Structures are given as C-alpha cells and as structure tokens.
C-alpha cells in the first residue's frame, strides 16, 4: 500500500514501512503485530540502517536464537512497557559460548538496542546478549534484564568477547 510517500509492505511476514526518498525502513513487531524479532531481523536490509520497533506488552523473540548478522537498531516503547520474552532455551546454558546466547551479534556487525526489557522467565539463557569479534559493537541503553539464568549459575546480561565493544 502507498499513501503520501509511505510504502507499507509485508516482507517475510513483517510489517515494513519505508518512506519515499529514504533507503531506511522501520519494521514493526508486537503491539498488535503477529510478527517476532527473528522475522524482523531477517527482513532488515543486509546493508544495515533499518530500525525494528517493538510494541508495548509481551512480545515473542521467535522460538530460536536471534542472530544479528547485519547492522540493526531495536527499539521498544520503554523498558517498563515493552518486554521481549525468551520463548526457547539456549542450546547451552553457558554464556561463555555462542550457543548460550539469546541474541548473538556476529563479528563485524552492530546492534543498537534500547527502551525494552529482556525476560528469560522459565527458560535457560546463558547470556541475554553476546557480542563476538573485532569490529562488532553493541550500544545498549535503557534495557532491563530479568530472569537471565544459565545452567548451574545465574546467566549473564551482556557478554563481549574477542575484541567486541559494548557501550
């Protein structure tokens, strides 16, 4: 659909908004959308720059590890009102390896995430966010971490490995 320079499309099942003359898109998750974070990351531009908006309420991450393999921004409506729920357990309850991460930022990629809470209630999560490798970066602002628990110990909120940067 197109109206007044706004193009609304469903790409891989994700509501994607683009504006005429702008090469960046906004992808919508939650807040009445049936789509999840995994779908939105997969639909984001491989060249980076897209923003994923997660609506208020409880929202699903997609049933498996969220792999950030492109530069992306994830924004909620506020950490008191937007919750991303773990809807799976990581294959390793150890936050010290990639399989233990709920959200994995791959080498050379960046994640900006803000204004939401990550809730692992009822699942085994080694690390909520794991950033791996030189050139990878995570900017984390106003994010709450609830019930992030690994196997045999409390899990990690954020793990930066092998030269990764976190701010």
Query: Which of 160, 159, 137 minimizes the C-alpha distance to 148?
Result: 159
How far is residue 20's CA from residue 105's CA, in Å, rounded to a whole number? 30
- Please tell me the pTM assigned to this model: 0.84
**Can you give the pLDDT of all 167 residues of the chain as single tens digits?**
444 444 444 444 456 656 555 556 666 666 555 678 888 888 888 888 888 888 888 888 999 999 999 999 999 999 999 999 999 999 775 656 888 899 999 999 999 999 999 999 999 999 999 999 999 999 999 999 999 988 776 789 999 999 999 99
- Are 127 and 155 spatial neighbours (Cβ–Cβ below 8 Å)? yes
* Residues 6+ positions from 152 with CB-CB distance below 8 Å: 93
């Amino acid at each position: 659909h197109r109206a007044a320079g706004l193009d609304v499309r469903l790409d891989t099942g994700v509501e994607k908004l683009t504006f005429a003359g702008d090469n960046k898109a906004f992808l919508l998750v939650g807040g009445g959308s049936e789509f999840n974070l995994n779908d939105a990351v997969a639909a984001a531009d491989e060249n980076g720059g897209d923003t994923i908006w997660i609506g208020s309420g409880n929202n699903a991450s997609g049933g498996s590890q969220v792999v950030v393999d492109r530069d992306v921004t994830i924004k909620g409506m506020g950490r008191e009102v937007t919750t991303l729920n773990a809807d799976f357990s990581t294959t390793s309850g150890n936050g010290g390896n990639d399989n233990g991460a709920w959200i994995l930022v791959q080498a050379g990629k960046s994640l900006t995430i803000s204004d939401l809470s990550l809730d692992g209630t009822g699942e085994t999560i080694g690390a909520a966010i794991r950033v791996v490798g030189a050139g990878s970066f995570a900017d984390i602002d106003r994010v709450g971490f609830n019930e992030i628990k690994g196997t045999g110990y409390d899990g990690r909120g954020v793990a930066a490995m092998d030269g990764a940067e976190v701010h």
